Amino acid sequence: MHTADKHPIIAIATASGRGAVGIVRISGRNLRAWAQQWLGQELKARHAHYLPFPDATGRAIDQGLALFFPAPHSYTGEDVLELQAHGGPIVLQMLVARAMETASAQQDNTAANTQAWLPNLRLAEPGEFTRRAFLNDKLDLAQAEAVADLIDASTESAARSASLSLSGAFSEAIHTLRDGFTHLRMLVEATLDFPEEDIDFLEAANARGQLADLRAQLTTIGQRARQGALLRDGMHIVIAGQPNAGKSSLLNALAGAELAIVTPIAGTTRDKVEQTIQIEGVPLHIIDTAGLRETDDVVEQIGVQRAWEAVDKANVVLFLHDSAQANNSAYQAGDAAILAQLQARLPGHVPVVDVWNKSDLTGTDVAAVAAAEGAALHISAKTGQGLDALRQQLLQLAGHETVTEDIFTARARHLQALAEVDEHLGNAEAHIDSPAPALDLLAEELRLAQLALNRITGEFSADDLLGVIFSSFCIGK
């Protein structure tokens, strides 16, 4: 721990502005004597004391509750003092100033006037209380990040997902997987250490079966984490299709604003247009793209290339079809070619939703078609028909209506780490399945997979990574 991390810290822990109650939080070592001298009363552990908070003259700045949590049974693992006062910003600032004033007062060396003081008390940095909880093993890194996600949650589903991770469910799943790696590594490395033993390791230890089980666990964890990331960060939804299918009209309809130019001329959109909307609190990043087709127009070619680049980064692709062209064989061939490319480019977990637009031109009864075809989506971006059903399907894909007890809140770095683990497991399977398995390479792939897992919970994390993570927290947390 750095020297600065050992200094006591103080912050206003409640949101800025006026409120009924405001909290000043202090964390450090050996706070009890200093707190009792300042407040003039012995503080019992985890007991709410109603008392005045005195200024330098002994007059009360305010009256409220003081709660003392001795180490290690506190949020940060250090001594923690919380002062609950009235929530006026001036009152709270006066309490912080007085605390720092008493903390920095020099000791009087006479026995009769020895005063408790708190050297180096300073204002806390964003997220520093939670960082200390992590450094003092009160939370692992995934749980610490879930604290911020719970505070920032914009929907009930996102809050439940963050709460699940904060309880340690995500970390427990990671630890279970890591233990499986440890066991398999132990068997592999033991065989490397004792090559003279005439043991067919791969068969006797069922290494293939163990590795397959680990990869199945990883797939389940990855699915739950990806769903949680969508709830936290929102989905990137790309509207793709042939020119003049109504992609820009659909963007405008979903956004409720004229964001993209709409004309009857095919190829009007030459670049991608992005807009973030919210449906029932879930953020959705909608991206309108240029029509996908072969063209000699250089500018349009660039637009098509950017459209495919957007597709490659999508969480969901809305494949928009022109209902008025349903009987046009050339148009259907174009759609088939686009679908083939989508299937070739997208990972299996990225859904492609077929949406048939322009039902107002074909006279399609959207409700009747939906009842008959079930999952088929027929809409009119012009009249708004079918858009509610589309919105609900997008919410479902984002996990908004899913039973969230099984969804972890997750961040991009978690997903990246899980992807690295999957890559190393794939390499490990290739080594096992080779005619002459290289056990040293197998052991190395398992080691690298375990290191990637450890980054999620923070067993091995660089200080600069911790700085980035905790800097996004609010002050006082």
Q: How many structural domains does the chain have?
A: 3
Nearest CA-CA partner of 62 in 35, 90, 31, 42: 90
CB neighbours of residue 41 within 10 Å = 14
For residue 131 the two structure tokens come to 């960082």
Rounded Cα distance between 106 and 114, Å, is 10
pLDDT at 128: 92
Annotated binding site for K(+): 244, 263, 265, 268
| Strand 60-69 to 122-123 pairing | unpaired
pTM of the model as a whole: 0.71
CATH number at residue 214: 1.20.120.430
The CATH number of whichever domain residue 305 belongs to comes to 3.40.50.300
431 and 381 share one domain:
no
Do 310 and 392 lie in one domain? The reply is yes
Residues annotated as binding site?
25, 82, 138, 244-249, 263-269, 288-291, 477
Whether 471 is in a domain gets the answer no
Half-sphere exposure of 44 (CA within 13 A, CB side): 4
Same domain flag for 24 and 126: yes
Is 415 within a domain?
Answer: yes
For the chain, 477 residues long, the average pLDDT of each consecutive 10-residue run is 74 88 94 92 94 94 96 94 94 94 64 62 92 92 88 80 89 91 81 58 75 92 86 86 88 75 54 81 84 84 89 92 90 92 89 90 59 67 89 80 67 92 92 80 89 85 59 69
Tell which residue, 326, 236, 226, 330, has the closest CA to residue 286. Answer: 236
- Secondary structure (DSSP) of 255-277: HTS--S---SSTT---S-EEEEE
| Within a domain: 464 | no
Identify whether the C-beta of residue 76 lies closer than 8 Å to the C-beta of residue 65.
no
Question: Residues forming the annotated binding site for (6S)-5-formyl-5,6,7,8-tetrahydrofolate?
Answer: 25, 82, 138, 477
CA distance linking residue 227 with residue 251, whole number of Å:
24
Q: Is the dihedral of CA 81, 83, 87, 93 positive or negative?
A: negative
Q: Which residues are annotated as a binding site for Mg(2+)?
A: 248, 269
Nearest by Cα to 99 from 112, 115, 81, 114: 81
Are 412 and 386 within one domain? Answer: no
What is the C-alpha to C-alpha distance for residues 474 and 127, in angstroms, rounded to an integer? 6
Give the Cα separation of 51 and 54 in Å (integer). 9
Show binding-site residues for GTP. 244-249, 263-269, 288-291
Q: Give the structural domain span for 208.
A: 165-230+407-458
d(CA 102, CA 26): 13
443 and 349 inside one domain: no
217 and 75 co-located in one domain: no
* Domain co-membership, 200 together with 187: yes
Q: Answer yes or no: is 470 within a domain.
A: no
For tokens 């450890």, name the residue: 454
Distance (Å, rounded) from C-alpha 441 to C-alpha 431?
7
Same domain, 289 and 361: yes
Tell whether 244 and 387 lie within a shared domain.
yes
- Whether 196 and 89 map to the same domain: the answer is no
- Residue 470: which of 160, 461, 24 has the closest Cα? 461
